[in-house]
Amino acid sequence: MLPPGPRTPTLWQSIQFLLKPKAYNRRLAAKFGETVRFRTLMGTGIAFANPEHARQVFAADPDIFEQVGHIAAIFGPQAVIATAGAVHKRQRRLLNPRFHGARVRAFHVTMQRVVRDHLEAFGRAAENGEVVVMADLAQALTLDIIIETIFGSTDAVQRERARRVLTGLMHSITPLIAAMPRLHHRLYPPYRRFLRARAEFDDFVDHLIAARRAKEDAGSDILATLIEARYDDDSTMEDAAIRDQLLTLLLAGHETTAIGVAWGVYWLLREPETLARLRAEVDALGPEPDAEALARLPYLAAVGAESLRIDPIVTDVARVCRRALQIGPWTVPAGELAVVNIQAILGDARLFPEPDRFRPERFLDRRFSVGEFMPFGGGARRCLGAAFAEAELAIALGTIVSEWDLALASDAPERSVRRNITMGPEHGVRLVVRGRRAVPALVRGEEVAGAAKEAS
């Protein structure tokens, strides 16, 4: 059985999903309910905004799905995000251990150092009376975190080349390229620019891999772990596969975390009681909190989660069904798309009362299932870098709000708009820097508890 859906032209539906997903989702829900049949240039399918249906999609046999075709064109055919079936399972077995536990914790100190280095821009802005665009600063600092943790780059010349290559590649991916595979043709100038940027990225990474393979000690960064990783049959990853995985980490991890940081700062400055409670929690760690201690703070983690929920960076997760898929009373036909409507679920008032309010406490009051809270996707295809991104978000937000006194440059609300694959704040969250914040040298436990209680 197929659910109802709009009968508007395919191009119209594509534009609405691409440019105005939040408003369009709400109109569709009001007219057709939480399960909607759609037709877009990406394909025809069913979008699920029911948490139980979302759980069923994530829990389905991974072999029933294949990735949307344009994903491989952007990330590369051997990227874990683009593969399916046995190939995908083999890759996940190899990669999963390298993005969890002690391996991620080893990067916490690097994350904190890079964040603090970039936040010196706040000091210069305060001296010169300049406005800081938080999204731009967050993108710069998360890019350098990626360069250091993936490539281990400390040479100034190599670091600058990495910035230029990676930034050029990210800027070459436009919303139309990201969402409309029919435009993936050399006759389309933006797609030609993307292909040139991708070729430059491939050349950059190929030279790094060759240099590492020539050394006895490849290092301890992510590139080194991929070079040294071995499958169950003792074979290693091909250079092309390593390139595709690194590109996935760059595109899927860099901008999403940067936007999460920008939204987090925006909402904390709009909600002074929430900011006070968070500062009380961080201040309890002393004037120079340890990076790993920051990453473990429960209210800081809740602030990060709420930042990802209230303005979702990725609006949906789509899978192509190789054969018919039964979800609840609905059947997604073979060859069509099963879509988990992340944005609609994260804005569902039944799950998240007052969904347009920034309330991190909701993540302390209860635990949400995989079908209810899924900023990193779910099931067998959940984002490999989720733990890395959560730690990076916590360390960045905790450092920013505890060490700097900031204010929004305008009272006008930020609107979430399409950037490329992701959504982000329209004006980038413009800030006025008042100066460094005096961090208490020592905060007694009862004072912290009292401040947190008063703020809440």
Note the pLDDT tens digit of each residue in 414-437: 999 988 778 999 999 999 999 999
Considering the domain boundaries, does residue 33 fall inside one?
Answer: no
The pair of three-digit structure tokens given for residue 246, joined into one six-digit string: 């690194």
Report CA-CA distances (Å) from 62 to 152, 205, 305. Answer: 34, 30, 27
Could you tell me the CA-to-CA distances from 348 to 208, 341, 363 in Å, in that order?
Answer: 46, 11, 15
Quick one: pLDDT at residue 178? 72
Helix (H) or strand (E) holding 36: strand 35-40
**Domain assignment of residue 372, given as a range:** 53-317+352-455
The mean pLDDT of the chain is 89
Contact call for residues 80 and 398 (beta carbons, < 8 A):
no
Taking alpha carbons only, the member of 306, 314, 320, 300 closest to residue 397 is: 300
Is residue 7 in some structural domain? no
As given in the structure block, the two tokens for residue 349 are: 């008032």
Q: Is 404 a domain residue?
A: yes
Per-residue pLDDT tens digits for 48-64 = 999 999 999 999 988 89
Residue 372 lies in a domain: yes
Distance CA 102, CA 108 (A): 10
CB-facing half-sphere around the CA of 94: CA atoms within 13 A? 25
Q: Report pLDDT digits (tens) over 137-176.
A: 999 999 999 988 888 866 778 888 889 999 999 888 887 7
Give the tokens for residue 450: 């009292």
pLDDT of residue 153: 64
Average pLDDT over residues 43-52: 95
Please name the residues in contact with 64: beta carbons below 8 A apart, sequence gap of 6 or more: 321, 322, 323, 325
Is 16 inside a domain boundary?
no
Q: What are phi and psi of 389, to 5 degrees?
A: -65, -40
Alpha carbons 269 and 261: distance in angstroms, whole number = 12
Per-residue pLDDT, 392? 95
**Sequence-ordered list of residues with C-beta below 8 angstroms from that of 15, at least 6 positions apart, any chain:** none
pLDDT at 69: 67
Contacts of residue 380, defined as CB under 8 A and 6 or more positions apart, other chains included, come to 58, 62, 88, 89, 92
Residue 215 pLDDT level (bands cut at 50, 70, 90): confident
Distance between CA 116 and CA 122 in Å, rounded?
A: 10
The SS3 call for residue 128 is helix
Q: Running DSSP on this structure, what letter comes out for residue 236? A: B
**Number of domains, the chain:** 1
Beta bridge mates, 406:
433
Is residue 11 included in any domain, yes or no?
Answer: no
pLDDT at 174: 81
The pLDDT value given to residue 331? 97
pLDDT of residue 451: 45
With 60 as the cut, is the pLDDT of residue 447 above it?
Answer: no
Does residue 338 lie in a domain region?
no
CB 100 within 8 A of CB 224: no
Q: Residue 455 — very low, low, confident or very high, per pLDDT cuts 50/70/90?
A: very low
Which of the pair, 380 or 206, is modelled with greater confidence? 206
Asked whether residue 445 carries a pLDDT value surpassing 50, the answer given is: no
Q: What Rg value do the Cα atoms of the chain yield, rounded?
A: 22
- Compute CA distances 312 → 195, 265, 404, whole Å: 28, 15, 26
pLDDT of residue 154: 63
CATH label of the domain that carries residue 234: 1.10.630.10
Mean pLDDT calculated for residue range 254-282 = 95
| Digit-coded pLDDT (tens) for 77-135 | 888 888 888 888 898 888 888 887 888 888 999 999 999 999 999 999 999 999 999 99
The proportion of the chain whose per-residue pLDDT surpasses 70, expressed as a percent, equals 95
Residue 6 has pLDDT above 70, yes or no: yes
What is the Cα–Cα distance from 302 to 367, expressed in whole angstroms?
11
